[in-house]
Amino acid sequence: MSSYSYLSAIGFHTLKGTKEWNRLITQVVEYPTEKYIAQQDGKTIAMEYYRAYGEGFGLLVRGILDEKEQILVKTFDPIVEAKYITDVVEVEVLEQEEDIYHAFCEEEQTGTEIIFHLQNVIDYWDVEEMDQVTIEGVKIVGLGIEGKVILPVEKSEVEKMIDAEEEEWYQELIKRAREGDEEAQELIDIEEEETAEIIAERLQYEDFLTIVEGYFIPFEDIDTTYSVLGVIQEVGEMKNKETGEKLFWLYINCMGMHFEICINEKDLTGIPLVGMRFMGICWVQGQIVFS
């Protein structure tokens, strides 16, 4: 899927086709909210034009100046700025295509592996040239192309307490395994095998969504795109000032990993409420927070 597929997530639901895309690109370049200039490889002049269409979201055009000092557009992306910093380990950045970068990392608490489309490429170019750089974390968000609100898994207070204790125990195992504790890694492997066996057994006579409370898994073979299921913790609303379309910002818990989502009201089935669950497909993008 190209980034054009996710324009709806920031309020351009009806925008289709090259002609309308080019109109938006021209608008961003001629009337940017922010503009960045940087040298790439010590000789190429790289340009970024960002235009906000609401609070915390907009469109980003990245390109280079050609010999006639005209901008040659390389990428055109819908951008949403995440609110929260996620703690991660071992962030690695790779250039997938020209001027398209993906960041690879592991969420610290749960060990979940995440690949996301890098928003702040020019910042990354700048720090590449520095000897020492500290990474505080990442700010990631999923742009939803489709989603639905579903009922939560019913649990008693005792079950909730047991789940919280098990989550804390599992996070401690992740920490120990990361420090080289072989016994902790063996316990993690055993736990994953037992969980898979229990789910397989229950699926014979129960519905999948009554068993699995949440997940965060790659969608087919498309990098940076994930199928997501999680409990809604916070809900916010935004509006695209150009189209008037309403957007939902959701903060969800995917089995211990917290994650932000932005989705068009037109692409979401149901009304999002705290305690309900969100299920959908998201393109994950974000920034590395350097200090």
In this predicted model, what pLDDT tens digit does every residue of 76-120 receive, in sequence order? 999 999 999 999 988 999 988 877 899 999 998 888 899 999 999
Residue 207's Cβ-side half-sphere holds a number of Cα atoms within 13 Å equal to 5
pLDDT of res. 178 = 77
Average pLDDT (269-288) is 95
Q: What is the pLDDT of residues 187-204, one digit of tens each?
A: 777 777 777 676 667 667
* pTM, entire model: 0.85
Rounded distance between C-alpha atoms, residue 265 and residue 157, angstroms: 33
Cβ atoms 250, 278 nearer than 8 A:
yes
Looking at residue 45, its pLDDT comes to 78
Alpha-carbon distance values, 124 to 90, 95, 291 (Å): 15, 11, 12
Give the separation between CA 29 and CA 192, rounded to whole angstroms: 49
**What are the domain boundaries of the chain?**
154-212
Per residue in 113-151, pLDDT (tens digit) is 999 999 998 888 888 776 677 889 999 999 998 999 998
Residue 8 has pLDDT above 90, yes or no: yes
Residues 236, 249: contact at Cβ < 8 Å?
yes
CA 284 to the chain's CA centroid: 3
pLDDT score, position 190: 79
Contact 257, 109 (CB under 8 A): yes
User: What is the per-residue pLDDT across 241-277, written as a single tens digit (0 to 9) for each?
Assistant: 999 999 999 999 998 899 999 999 999 999 999 999 9
Give yes or no for a contact between 233 and 251, defined as CB atoms under 8 angstroms apart: yes
CA angle 35, 122, 225 (to 5 degrees): 105
Q: Which two tokens stand for residue 78?
A: 């819908």
- Environment class of residue 58 by beta-carbon count within 10 Å: exposed (0-12), middle (13-18) or buried (19+)? buried
Q: What are phi and psi of 111, to 5 degrees?
A: 80, 10
Residue type, 109: Q
Cα-based distances in Å from 92 to 25, 104, 138, 179, 283? 30, 5, 12, 19, 19
Share of the chain above pLDDT 70, in %: 93
- In angstroms, the Cα distances linking 111 to 107, 114, 125, 257 are 5, 9, 27, 9
Distance of CA 207 to the CA centre of its chain: 28
Which structure tokens are listed for 243?
């189209």
| pLDDT of amino acid 260 | 98
Q: How far apart are CA 250 and CA 174, in angstroms?
A: 27
DSSP letter at 3 equals G
